[in-house]
Amino acid sequence: MERRTVAYRTVQTGITFGSALAMVISYSNWHSVGWAIIHGLLSWVYVIYFVVFH
């Protein structure tokens, strides 16, 4: 049972960190809160896109 809790918290933290990172990258790149929100929802997808293409 404890292993499941650790895995759940790790995944939750990774998703939260990915969203925050995506929003910071987006805002610094586009200077738009709207785009930052959209990219925050995309989370790691946008972060990986940014790393690959920029």
Per residue in 1-13, pLDDT (tens digit) is 567 777 677 777 7
The answer to whether the predicted template modeling score (pTM) of the entire model surpasses 0.85 is no
Query: What are the per-10-residue average pLDDT scores of the chain (54 residues)?
Result: 69 82 96 96 95 94
User: What was the pLDDT predicted at 1?
Assistant: 54
- Look at the chain and report how many structural domains it folds into: 1
CA-CA distance, 31 to 34, in Å (whole number)? 9
User: Which residues make Cβ contacts (< 8 Å) with residue 26, sequence separation at least 6?
Assistant: 32, 35, 36, 38, 39, 40, 46
Q: Output the pLDDT for position 36.
A: 96
